Amino acid sequence: QVQFVESGGGLVQPGGSLRLSCAASGSIFSIYAMAWYRQVPGNERDLVASITNGGRTNYADSVKGRFTISRDNAKNTVWLQMNSLKPEDTAVYYCNIYNPFRPVAGNGYWGQGTQVTVSS
């Protein structure tokens, strides 16, 4: 099964940048569309950005123009470059597969995520 380990989060001031990394394990990583999700405690998990195995990307309206998702299938890795960060971006960020039929479900196996806190 494909499993995920997220890293790169931290505390940053508004307007700052972070680059999140997601290392995947599994023998069929390259066939999956991938996504970044985020969750605020007490809230539902939200889709932030997705990327197909062919490289087509989509973004939530709230992050469009500020975040960039990318992947390297040879390295089994997906990144999220986060620029112009806002306090409302504060959340735990997770990576997982993207299933358009169940857009917030992933594969049902979630890593520990990486916390992003945007505060002055």
Helix (H, G, I), strand (E, B) or coil at 81: strand
The H helix count followed by the E strand count for the chain is 0, 10
Could you read off the pLDDT of 8-64 as tens digits, one per residue? Answer: 999 999 999 999 999 998 777 888 999 999 999 999 999 999 999 999 999 999 999
Rounded CA-CA distance 62/50 in Å is 14
Q: What confidence tens digit (pLDDT) does each residue in 77-95 have? A: 999 999 999 999 999 999 9
